Amino acid sequence: MSKPVIILAIESSCDDTACAVIKDGILLANKIANQHVHEQYGGVVPELASRAHQQNIVPVVDLAIKQSGIKISEISAIAFTRGPGLMGSLLVGSSFAKAFAMGLGIPLIEVNHMQAHILAHFIKSESHTQSPSFPFLCLTVSGGHTQIVLVKDYFDMTVIGETIDDAAGEAFDKAAKIMNLPYPGGPLIDKYGTFGNPLQFKFTKPQLPELNFSFSGLKTGFMNFINNETAKNPDFVSQNLNDICASIQHTIIEILMSKLKTAALQTNIKNIAIAGGVSANSALRKALKENEKQLQWKTFIPDFQYCTDNAAMIAITGYFKYLKNDFTTQNITPLARYAL
Ligand code: KG4
Ligand code: ZN
């Protein structure tokens, strides 16, 4: 019997320090240290993120190894996020990965974070067993990216639509900030929106050609709306929080879904996946499911733990690269921007 392939993966692109261990494609451990230090600033503070990564990385890796039950000597390769992301954050994870791989004398694998969000659909664990077949479309929606990707194979991905300004996650977070909610605001808008009327307030949607998105106009429109209403009634936000959250969420999801439907029609693809932090949004997950019935789509929605940043997605991508002998060298550098 051949030796199992065990990948230890590190993710540190933004404000989560994460480590996962995967054995022959099956997840053994998935640990994450979230950084709460940013909540009070209304967004990620890059320098604080780098420092927190430095503090968290050894304990997180240690926990993941212990939980996986593997011996360090059994690890086949170290995978790490090369980019895109914050340079200071990426440097912590990549330096750790390089040193670990060098110390153990095993190969190093670099991973594109956005590719990994999509390949999260192939993680196999007790709760996550169904993966899309190729070709499929993936709406990747995170704090930094909004893309519609045509996925023909594990590493054959083409961006067919993307945002020309803010990302969908940013639209959620900025709307939350305007309402004085802490960072990250996306999950809070989702939480309050569940109890509100999505049609109570109307916001203008952008008219963009092709499959591209824009969210900056919506943000300005939302800010003007809140400013006008609070000038009339200083308690407007607190008195209408659920309806405001439901309405802005509904608008963002309509913008996303309308482009996704066009992409599905243009490509004649009915295998539709979502990925990235915003794919945790309950209204987006529901909207996708509704189209399963209406448009005969087969939809793929990741488990919550694989939507937002995690190292399991880096590990599965590293595993597929290991099978192709796709290794990198010790002189590799992180990339703040890294196209698919
Ligand atoms: O993928 P991710 O964890 O990090 C990046 O690569 O950016 O995505 C983070 C983004 C944040 O903007 C956060 O507000 C958003 O995902 N997010 C959500 C929800 N959970 C996370 N947005 C809306 N609804 C949610 N439930
Ligand atoms: Zn991400």
Q: Tell me how far apart the alpha carbons of residues 192 and 246 are, in angstroms, rounded to a whole number.
A: 7
CA dihedral 218→228→182→238, nearest 10 degrees, is: -120
- Output phi, psi for 138, to 5 deg: -125, 125
Query: Could you give the C-alpha distances from 103 to 26, 75, 290, in angstroms and in order?
Result: 25, 12, 51
Give 278 Cα–ligand 1 centroid separation in angstroms.
4
253 within 8 A of 286, measured Cβ to Cβ: no
DSSP character at residue 125? B
How many other CB atoms sit within 10 Å of the CB of residue 93?
Answer: 26
Task: Give the closest residue (by CA) to ligand 1 atom 3.
Answer: 308
In 163-292, where do the E strands start and end?
271-275
Among 270, 146, 298, residue whose Cα is nearest residue 214? 146
What is the set of domains in the chain, with CATH numbers?
6-126+307-323 (3.30.420.40), 136-301 (3.30.420.40)
**Residue 282 alpha carbon, nearest atom of ligand 1:** 26
Q: Is the CB of 85 under 6 A from ligand 1?
A: no
pLDDT in tens, the chain (340 residues): 789 999 999 999 998 999 999 999 999 999 999 888 788 787 888 889 999 999 999 999 999 999 999 999 999 999 999 999 999 999 999 999 999 999 999 999 999 999 999 999 999 887 777 899 999 999 999 999 999 999 999 999 999 999 999 999 999 999 999 999 998 999 999 999 999 999 999 999 998 889 999 999 999 999 999 999 999 999 999 999 999 999 999 999 999 999 999 999 999 999 999 999 999 999 999 999 999 888 999 999 999 999 999 999 999 999 999 999 999 999 999 999 999 9
For ligand 1, atom 2, which residue shows the shortest CA distance? 277
Closest atom, ligand 1, to C-alpha of 307: 1
Taking CA atoms only, the protein residue closest to ligand 1 atom 10 is: 143
| CA–CA separation, 246 and 253 (whole Å) | 10
33, two tokens: 């240290």
Q: Distance between CA atoms of 134 and 332, rounded to whole angstroms?
A: 31
Contact 272, 300 (CB under 8 A): yes
Number of CB atoms found within 10 A of residue 230's CB = 13
Give pLDDT, residue 98: 98
Q: For the segment 89-128, what is each residue's pLDDT rounded down to a tens digit?
A: 999 999 999 999 999 999 999 999 999 999 999 998 877 7
Residue 265, CA atoms < 13 Å, CB-side half-sphere: 10
Ligand 1: distance of its center to the CA of 169 in Å?
A: 5
For residue 276 and ligand 1, the question of a CB distance below 6 A is answered with yes
- State whether the beta carbon of 88 lies less than 6 angstroms from ligand 1: no
Q: Judge if the beta carbon of residue 94 lies within 6 A of ligand 1.
A: no
CA distance 18 to 52: 12
Q: How far is the CA of 200 from the centre of ligand 2 (A)?
A: 31
Ligand 1 neighbour 42 (Cβ under 6 A): no
pLDDT in tens, 303-329: 999 999 999 999 999 999 999 999 999
Q: Is 161 in the pocket of ligand 1 (CB under 6 A)?
A: no
Query: Which strands, in side-by-side order, build the sheet including 156-162?
Result: 156-162, 146-153, 136-141, 271-275, 298-300
As beta bridge partners, residue 313 has none
Q: What is the DSSP string of 138-149?
A: EEEE-SS-EEEE
